[in-house]
Structure 1
Amino acid sequence: MAELAEQINSLGQFCGRRDITELSQTALRQAYNIDTVDVFAFFGGSIVAGVATLAAAIQAKIARHYVIVGGHGHTTAALIKNARACYPEIDFDTSSEAQIFNQILHTQYGLSADFLETESTNCGNNITNLLALLTANNINCRSIILCQDATLQLRMAATMAQQVTDSVKVINYAAYAVSVVAKDDQLTFDQAIPGMWSLNKYVSLLLGEIQRLTDDQNGYGPAGKNYLAHVDVPALIQTNAHTLQQKFTVRTANPLFATELN
């Protein structure tokens, strides 16, 4: 069990990138020699707990503009269910993931995002719609922090990298950080996180991401569907993913939410 936990965590750390140690101006200065970024973009694919990370970013004043991105996609039904369970006092507007998260942000923290993007259905148009929103509002984006569900973080950054030039500094900060541990001959998370995926779902999502990130004819990189910039997937990650596929299912793309960018 301990070896399985280690293999899962290797995938989780690979996909759930955080390029700064914390959401603070000090951390930004240390890593990038800047106090604030132009945009902090939070994505609706995250679990409910991600809203606390968004709130922390706003409170830390690490960006000039804050955007929540998300319409309806494969994570929306789970988000609605968990949002209602965690916040029964809120009468949610379920028209978009962005609206749901903004309601939690306002009710729990007295904060609101500057902009909501409410039409996207997948990682690809999360990014293209975000960039279109920034352009429409005359926001010059030379630096951006992307904050997505930990399982999806690296793919979100690779999608952004394909759409912008190197002049845009793209910084990762996954919405949560979690580890899997072996306890009493069972696998479990090291902490309780509101709205967290089941362990099987979490691993399924990670395995699906490794398949998409692998730059071959079956992946989403330039050698495959060309949705993403190239990502180097280390041999150890590929080996661990292959082992885990023998014990867990792999999340496949839902055609209901597909576009030319998935």
Structure 2
Amino acid sequence: MNKTVEAINCLANYCALKNLSALTSTQIQAKIGQKQVDLFVLFGGSILAGGDLLAQAIQDNLAKKYVIVGGHGHTTEALKEQMQPWLSQNEQVMTFSEAELFQLYLKNRYQVAADYLETKSTNCGNNITFLLRLIQENNLKAESILLMQDATMQRRMAAVMQKECDFPTRMLNFPAYEAQVKMDDFGHLSYTSEIPGMWSMARFIELLMGEIPRLHDTPTGYGPLGKNYLAHVAVPLEVRQAFATLEERFPQAVRVANPQFHSDYVQEKNDETR
């Protein structure tokens, strides 16, 4: 197999942290001894496939409560574009948060809805801290929580949760999709299967490559040795080697954090509007 394909698939598999082989009550029972989790949480950074799986979970009664978390961040505009076929002409969504967009999608396509929406968070860090605040403010039982995020960011979301959650809970991870790529005889990359709302190939590679420097616990990363946004993660050697392969192949693809969506920036903007 082509080294580029191997490297992309290596990063995709690593970032898409998954604790269940399938999204079923049988699998949940095997992991936590109960057929339902207390909370099922979808994060707004996901593509439409996450909304489809949340709808399936609601229909299959996999949780006692369902939460969608997401304000406005680097994936919001893409989500609005993906939503268009499922919106009526009268639905104006320009100012909608990611959580509100997914709720509208659930209602329009599946006639189901989440129980709670968190609409102010802007990044993986305050996705979690604002979720924990919502849990506390609504006195929600959270002895078990299933987290679902875009596959590129699932492992980072889990590491943030591990750092920020100060109460005992059983945490399960199930990414919104699983993506693998292939290359044809002309050197063109494509996905091995169709995924609803999937990123362009360039964007997918960019998202994957942006995760590895953030995850790996170094002075320039997001772990305790760096910015201290998430719990310690030691990225395996084979993943770092795959990243190096892609960095050489796509030198401009490493996504730099957008300061507009940084928590300090958001707090400053909130202070200005009070």
**TM-score normalized with structure 1 length:** 0.95
Q: 1:178 to 1:92 in 2, by over 3 A?
A: farther
CA distance in 2, matches of 1:45, 1:25: 25
| Match for residue 216 of structure 1 among 202, 215, 218 | 218
The match for 1:52 is: 52
Amino acid at match of 1:49: A
CA distance in 1, matches of 2:28, 2:177: 18
Task: State the aligned residue count.
Answer: 261
Q: 1:178 to 1:261 in 2, by over 3 A?
A: farther
SS at structure 1 position matched to 2:231:
coil
SS at structure 2 position matched to 1:119:
coil
Are 2:255 and 1:251 aligned? yes
The match for 1:196 is: 198
Which stretch has the larger CA shift, 106-115 or 21-30?
21-30
Contact 1:124–1:261, Cα closer than 8 Å, also in 2: no
CA distance in 2, matches of 1:261, 1:213: 22
CA distance in 1, matches of 2:207, 2:232: 20
Q: Give the percent of matched residue pairs that are identical in Structure 1 and Structure 2.
A: 46
Are 2:115 and 1:111 aligned? no
| Match for residue 186 of structure 1 among 181, 185, 188 | 188
The match for 1:145 is: 146
Cα deviation 1:126-165 (Å, max 9, x = unaligned):
0000110111111121110000000010000000000124
Q: How far did 1:77 drift?
A: 1.1
Q: 1:260 to 1:155 in 2, by over 3 A?
A: farther
CA distance in 2, matches of 1:194, 1:28: 25
Are 2:121 and 1:120 aligned? yes
CA distance in 2, matches of 1:32, 1:143: 8
Q: How far did 1:166 drift?
A: 7.1
SS at structure 1 position matched to 2:249:
coil
Amino acid at match of 1:231: V
Which stretch has the larger CA shift, 163-172 or 48-57?
163-172
CA distance in 1, matches of 2:13, 2:32: 21
Which stretch has the larger CA shift, 63-72 or 165-174?
165-174
CA distance in 2, matches of 1:123, 1:159: 7
CA distance in 1, matches of 2:40, 2:49: 17
Unaligned regions of 5+ residues in structure 1, if any?
none
Q: How far did 1:32 drift?
A: 2.7
CA distance in 1, matches of 2:30, 2:141: 23
CA distance in 2, matches of 1:99, 1:92: 12
CA distance in 2, matches of 1:131, 1:17: 21
Are 2:88 and 1:89 aligned? yes
**TM-score normalized with structure 2 length:** 0.91
CA distance in 2, matches of 1:203, 1:77: 18
SS at structure 1 position matched to 2:57:
helix
The match for 1:22 is: 22
The match for 2:271 is: none
Amino acid at match of 2:53: T
Contact 1:123–1:261, Cα closer than 8 Å, also in 2: no
